[in-house]
Chain A
Amino acid sequence: GENVEQHPSTLSVQEGDSAVIKCTYSDSASNYFPWYKQELGKGPQLIIDIRSNVGEKKDQRIAVTLNKTAKHFSLHITETQPEDSAVYFCAASKDTGRRALTFGSGTRLQVQP
């Protein structure tokens, strides 16, 4: 089955700096890669996703890049703000068979004011 690895497990940045979180996946058939933000005690919320037919997607301060050859994808947050502090999860799935997501282990992002 699919295996998703996520790094780093914790990340601390100064307000206004950029943050980058990286994930690798094992199943070359995976073609959908969402990123979720989870605040303490709450359910994950989708912040951005990318499909394998594009290499990059951007939404204001957040961007995701995908390298299908290397089987890795990354989340980029620019101009970080204290409210960006949360746990971020990457995930992967494919269009055939089981469509449930396989998640990375999460990155705790702390933005220092």
Chain B
Amino acid sequence: DGGITQSPKYLFRKEGQNVTLSCEQNLNHDAMYWYRQDPGQGLRLIYYSQIVNDFQKGDIAEGYSVSREKKESFPLTVTSAQKNPTAFYLCASSFNSPYSTDTQYFGPGTRLTVL
């Protein structure tokens, strides 16, 4: 099956811990994105990567880090510096056509709760 997978589905973190959320895609997409969703709100961009070994900060990057060592994978680390990490985290991917915006496809999400 082709698609985007995120794991785990639910994640619990204690204060002061770093946690890593996994995102994998087998759609041969060049670009990958991480969004955060808070209850009753839209999605906000954390980080994005348009090509392997390169990534850029989004609108709310503080307290988060990413890597893009493989085309298929874009893990997100929520560090202890993120003061309010409880949220629903969504990963997306798309092609990266040179002259037009490509459709973004979303994974099923990871719900992170800080205990």
A and B: partners?
A: yes
Contact of B42 among A32, A89, A94, A99 (CB under 8 A): A89
- Given A43-B109, A46-B103, A95-B101, A106-B42 contact (CB < 8 Å): yes
Contact of B109 among A42, A93, A100 (CB under 8 A): A42
- Given A99-B31, A103-B42, A94-B101 contact (CB < 8 Å): yes
Residues of A with C-beta under 8 A to B41: 105-106
- Given A98-B48, A98-B56, A43-B42 contact (CB < 8 Å): no
Q: Give Cα A56 to B109, complex, Å.
A: 31
- Given A42-B109, A98-B56, A100-B48, A89-B43 contact (CB < 8 Å): yes
Contact of A101 among B4, B104, B107, B111 (CB under 8 A): B104
Task: Say yes or no for B59: interface residue by CB 8 A criterion.
Answer: yes
Cβ contact within 8 Å between B43 and A103: yes
Q: Give Cα A40 to B56, complex, Å.
A: 29
